[in-house]
Structure 1
C-alpha cells in the first residue's frame, strides 16, 4: 500500500493507525491465499478493485475504514473462491424479509442440478446462503452475513430458498 505523498486519504489514515494497519495486513495475507486458490483471478481482482473503491470512499474516516475491512475480511474465504470460480447462471428472487435487498440465486457447477447459492444485498450489507458438502459428503447450507443483527438468525428469504431445496438440510451459521 502507498504511504507516501501519492497515497490517498484512506491509505494515509491506514498507515497512521495501528489497528487499521493490522487489518490491512490481515487482508493482504487473506488476499494472497485466496488469489493463489482462484481459477478466475480476473474476477477476484475485479471484486478487489470494487472493494478498494468502497474503502477509498471512506477518506480519512477511521471508523468507516475499519468497517470496510471487517466486512471484506468476513467474506467467506475459500467459499468465496468456490463461488467466483463456479457460478454460472443467476436468477432474481423476492426479498421475503422486506429489507429492500436485491436477491439473486446462483447455479454452481458440480452441485447437482439445483441453485446452490443465494445472495441478498443492500448497499454494503450481505446475506449469503451456500450449499456445501461436509466431510461425510452430505449437503448442508452455510449462512454468512456481515450484518451484526442477523449473525444468529437466518433471513426468511434464505430460509425459504433452503426449504425449497430440502427443508432438512442442516444450517451452519458462519462467523
Structure 2
C-alpha cells in the first residue's frame, strides 16, 4: 500500500507538488488506498490533512536534522495507513502528528522536561532528563493512567542519539529526534515500578506544561462518524465532556434483546469503574442510549440517562438496566432521566 501511494506521501511531506482537486494535500482524483479515499471523502479528515501539510513544510524548513525528520514522516505515513478507512483511528493519528510537529522545530537537548503526547484522555507522563557527563543522563519519570501511577528514576548510558537504561527486567531506550524524544519500554508495568496499565513508552515533547490533544468522542471511537459526534454534542450538552473523560478503557457489552440491531460498549477510567464510567448503546440512524456516571462532592456518584429515541425517554433498555444495577443501582447512586 505504501509503495502504491508514494506519490501522495511525497505530496504530503512537501517533497513534490501537484494540483489539488479536493480539500486535501494530495490529488483526490488519483487516490488509490483506502486511507486516501477516506481522507478525501471526509471534510474533517481533509482539513486535518491540509493542516498537517502546512505544518510539515514549516517544520521541515526549521528542523535541525531534516533528513531524520523525513525518515520519521515516512514512518508516520506507514502507521497512518494501517488505519485503513477508519475515521477515529485516522483522526487520532493526525492530531498526534500535528502536536509532534509543533515541537520538532526546537533543538534537542538532554537537559529538559518532557511531556507525553497521550493516546487518550486519562493518561499522561512527565520525564525530566539531565546530562551528567558526556556518556550519561539522569532521568526522573512520573506517569499515570486513570488512578494508577508509576515513578522511576535512574541513569541511562548515551549511545549516539540514544540513551539506554537497564535494571532487572526493565529496559528503557530514549531516542533523540529534532526536539522530541521517543521512549521505548521493554518490560512489564510492574517491572518498571508502575501500577497496572501504566507504561512509560511513547513520544514526548520538550515542555513544562502538560500536552493537551484536542480529542473528542469521534477520535476515541465512541462516535463513528462526524454526524454521530454532532448528535452526541446535542444530546449530552455539558455531559459530552463528562463522557469523554470517562472513556479510558473500552469493552464490548452484552447484546440487547430490546434493541436487537444495536451495539453496546462499556467505558471506564482505569481504577475508577464505579465512579468514572459509562455505557453507550447505538443503533442505525444515529440512535443512542447512554448512561454516564458523574462524580459528585463527598465521594458520591450520580448516574444520568440520555437517549434521542422518543419511546425510550422515560425507560431504559435491558442492557442499560443491567449495567446500572451492576454499579449498585438506586441503593448506591441516584439516576436522573435527562428528558
Q: Would you call these one fold, judging by a TM-score over 0.5?
A: yes
* Cross-structure match for 2:225: 50
Q: 1:120 to 1:94 in 2, by over 3 A?
A: same
- Partner deviation per Cα, 1:34-60 (whole Å, 9 max, x = no partner): xxxxx54243575899335x7xxxxxx
Aligned pair 1:91/2:251, yes or no? yes
Match of 1:41 among 214, 221, 228: 214
**Larger deviation: 159-168 or 107-116?**
107-116
CA displacement at 1:130 relative to structure 2: 1.1
CA displacement at 1:138 relative to structure 2: 1.9
CA displacement at 1:154 relative to structure 2: 1.5
In angstroms, what is the RMSD of aligned CA positions? Answer: 3.1
Inter-partner Cα distance in structure 1 for 2:232 and 2:243:
15
Aligned pair 1:152/2:327, yes or no? no
* Cross-structure match for 1:29: none
Aligned length: 122
Is the CA contact 1:74–1:146 (under 8 Å) kept in the aligned structure 2? no
* Cross-structure match for 2:338: 174
Match of 2:241 among 76, 81, 88: 81
* Cross-structure match for 2:265: 104
Is the CA contact 1:91–1:106 (under 8 Å) kept in the aligned structure 2? yes
**Larger deviation: 85-94 or 148-157?**
85-94
Instruction: Judging by fraction of residues, say which structure has more helix.
Output: 1
SS of residue matched to 1:43: coil
Instruction: Judging by fraction of residues, say which structure has more strand.
Output: 2
Inter-partner Cα distance in structure 1 for 2:216 and 2:233:
17
Q: 1:164 to 1:86 in 2, by over 3 A?
A: closer
Aligned pair 1:139/2:139, yes or no? no
- Partner deviation per Cα, 1:9-46 (whole Å, 9 max, x = no partner): xxxxxxxxxxxxxxxxxxxxxxxxxxxxxx54243575
Inter-partner Cα distance in structure 1 for 2:303 and 2:271:
15
Q: 1:144 to 1:49 in 2, by over 3 A?
A: closer
Normalising by structure 2, we get a TM-score of 0.31
Is the CA contact 1:93–1:104 (under 8 Å) kept in the aligned structure 2? yes
Inter-partner Cα distance in structure 2 for 1:174 and 1:110:
27
Structure 1 runs not aligned, ≥5 long: 1-38, 55-67
**Bigger radius of gyration among the two:** 2
Q: Which has the higher contact order (CA 8 A, sep 6+)?
A: 1
